[in-house]
Every structure is written in C-alpha cells, then in structure tokens.
Amino acid sequence: MTSTIPTTMNASVLHTAGDVRTDVVDTPTLAPDQVLVRIAAVGVCGSDVHYYHEGRIGSFIVEQPLILGHESAGTIVATGSDVPATRIGERVSIEPQRACRHCEQCKHGRYNLCAEMEFYATPPIDGAFAEYAAIQADYAFPIPDSMSFDAAALCEPLSVGIWSNQKAGTAPGSRILIAGAGPIGIIVAQVARAFGASEIIVSDPVAERREVALRFGATTVLDPLAADIATLGLEVDAFIDASGAQPAIRAGIHAVAPAGRVVLVGMGADEVTMPVSRIQNRELLVTGVFRYANTWPLAIALASSGAVDLDALVTGRFGLDEVEAALEAAGRPSTMKVVVTPNER
C-alpha cells in the first residue's frame, strides 16, 4: 500500500438490525493478489435492506459489526505486491466475491457455489459502503471511460440478470415470462431483450412498476391480481421468478410450455408448495439462481454498448452518512435503484 493512502477511513457499519452508523475503521490492508479501490458508487440491494431490517438472511446472521454494500465500482489506488502498479488509476467494476479456486465447484467453473466463498456484505465479510475496499485483482474489471460509475456498480445486479437468462436458455425468438418488476425483474427483462427474446411478459401487481417494465423491454405486462396467469395459456419457453412470492411461482410454472424452464431468482420463503405433477408431466426443468459466475465481461459489454440501460434505473443518490436513508428509500415501491456515493467524484 502506498503512503498516500490513509490508514483509516469512514464506513457505514451495521451493528445490529436497524442500527447503522458511520464509523472510522481501518483501511483494508492488501494481500499480494489484491487491489485497493477508492469507492465511487455502491448500489443498494434488497439483501442490504433485509440485513438492515432483520439482521440475517437465512443462515447468514450478522453477529458482529458489518459493512454492507456489494454492488460497487471505483478507481484502483494501490496494488498488492503481486499486482502490477500500472493498474493504479484504472476505473473498475468490482465482482464482489472471492472463491477458493481449488474445490470441485471451482474446478468445474461453478465458483459461485464454492463452499468457502467470501462475498461482500455477507457475514462476516465486509462490503463497500466505505471509502475504500479491497478485492482480488482479477475480480476488478476495467471499464471504458464512457461508462459511469453508477452503471459499473450495477453490473452486479446485471450479472444476476445475465445468469438468470442463461439458466433460462433465453435466445433469439424466446418467449419469456418474468414475475416481479422490481430492479432485478426489470434488469432480467432488459437482458432477455438483449439476448433476442421476441416476447417478454412481465407480471407485477403494482401499476407503476408495470409501466416501468414497458419502458425497459417488456412487450406485455400483466396484473396478477386482475388475471389468473396460470390459466391464460401463455405456454412460454421459460419463466423467471424475480418476486419470491409463492402465488407467482405457482402461476408461472403453469404458464410454461412442455420441456420449458423455470428459474427461481427472488428471495421469499425458505419453502414453498409447487405443482409437482405439472413439473413431472411436462418435464419442466426447475433451477435456482445463486449469484453468478463469469458474467462480468458480458455485463460490461451490454451496459457500455447501450444494449442494457443501467443509468436510467438510478432513482436516488445518497452520501456515506446517509446510508440509513438510502436503505429506507430502497424498500419503497417507487424506487428502482438507489446509489450510495462514499467519495466525491
């Protein structure tokens, strides 16, 4: 680490559920294979909001002070001993995870399923609501000068959209049903359009969000409270659930054509009831989505080319000392993406 980097920094720290404070903490020290990034933008994710309100997500429990935030981008300001100093000054988008690289899942390229994964803002690993963050050099992806830091940070949820569509087999001519028009659902729709889907149907009970979906790639929107999606005879090639709601999952499965795919993305109840006979009789493939793997180059290409518009999703910006307000804003139906800016740009 160079002498120009301060030894302490400001960070927004979650102490317990509902208790977020701006603290002075140690600036990360670098392992030989890491870079230090001066954080310019951090998107607020639903998981951040969940940790803030509940202090846990499933088996991941906040048991000690934790820096939230995993959708991040900034500028490399220092490098570890094994990383060329020529990388200093690069504008980068951060893939916020570190796999072991040695287990069977990693060796098969499924490093998102690594049992030893260290992921930003997942207890006990600190995230990026801070002035600086450290990451392995190969998880810091250079971005073009034309790309904003906001868009670079949102390459993380874009990666979820890419991974979901890859799991769904989305291709030119595909017919896709998406449940949920929140940030992930909207990004999934944009990626489906970029992948060539000819019909993109988005369902959401909130009229305002249905209107947003039409602006970002949906060809049709449906109100699940006004129509029983399970009985509309949609016969889509794939259903991607971005809601986590059991009624939406059930209805979506009934809307899939034989040999189609069901991709579960939304975080809802740990257990839901599904129409098993429908899955069996139609030989549907049902899979979950847990983060992503090897998506960042494509995410940067889609965003920088304009095939996916991430900047237009940003509906609010907050400073590092306003993280609590950002978390509250992110939970409102009128919000798409909220961005925290830890440093002056």
pLDDT tens-digit map of 56-114: 988 899 999 999 999 999 999 999 999 999 999 999 999 999 999 999 999 999 999 99
Residue 175 lies in a domain: yes
**pLDDT per position as a tens digit, 179-212:** 999 999 999 999 999 999 999 999 999 999 999 9
Same domain, residue pair 20 and 147 = yes
Q: How many domains does the chain have?
A: 2
pLDDT at 305: 97
**pLDDT per position as a tens digit, 28-39:** 999 999 999 999
Does position 1 have pLDDT exceeding 50, yes or no? no
Residue 299 lies in a domain: no
Same domain, residue pair 148 and 12 = yes
Same domain, residue pair 34 and 125 = yes
Same domain, residue pair 145 and 212 = no
Residue 192 lies in a domain: yes
Same domain, residue pair 178 and 231 = yes
Same domain, residue pair 96 and 135 = yes
What are the C-alpha distances in Å from 192 to residues 49, 52, 80, 217, 249? 26, 31, 38, 8, 19
Does position 214 have pLDDT exceeding 50, yes or no? yes
The mean pLDDT value of the chain amounts to 96
Where on the phi/psi map is residue 180: left (φ > 0), alpha (ψ -120 to 50), or beta? left
Same domain, residue pair 279 and 183 = yes
Q: Please state the rounded mean pLDDT for residues 257-285.
A: 95
Closest CA to 70 of 89, 50, 87, 54: 50
pLDDT at 111: 97
Could you give the percent of the chain with pLDDT greater than 90? 94
Could you give the percent of the chain with pLDDT greater than 70? 99
Q: CATH number for the domain including 335?
A: 3.90.180.10
Could you give the residue ranges of the DSSP H alpha helices within 282-341?
296-305, 323-330
Same domain, residue pair 142 and 165 = no
Same domain, residue pair 267 and 228 = yes
Domain boundaries, position 334: 8-154+310-341
Same domain, residue pair 174 and 130 = no
User: Sorting pLDDT into bands at 50, 70 and 90, what band is 333?
Assistant: confident
Which residues, including other chains, have CB under 8 Å from residue 264's CB and lie 6 or more apart? 241, 249, 286, 287, 288, 289
Q: In what helix (H) or strand (E) does residue 49 lie, and over which residues does it extend?
A: helix 46-54
pLDDT at 345: 55
**pLDDT per position as a tens digit, 304-327:** 999 999 999 999 999 999 999 999
Tokens 């260290």 map to which residue? 118
No. of helices (H) and no. of strands (E), the chain: 10, 20
Residue 89 lies in a domain: yes
Does position 301 have pLDDT exceeding 50, yes or no? yes
Q: CATH number for the domain including 179?
A: 3.40.50.720
Does position 3 have pLDDT exceeding 80, yes or no? no
Q: In what helix (H) or strand (E) does residue 164 lie, and over which residues does it extend?
A: helix 155-168
Same domain, residue pair 321 and 280 = no
Residue 25 lies in a domain: yes
Residue 165 lies in a domain: yes
Same domain, residue pair 139 and 174 = no
Helices 183-194 and 155-168 meet at what angle, rounded to 10? 60
Residue 49 lies in a domain: yes
Residue 295 lies in a domain: no
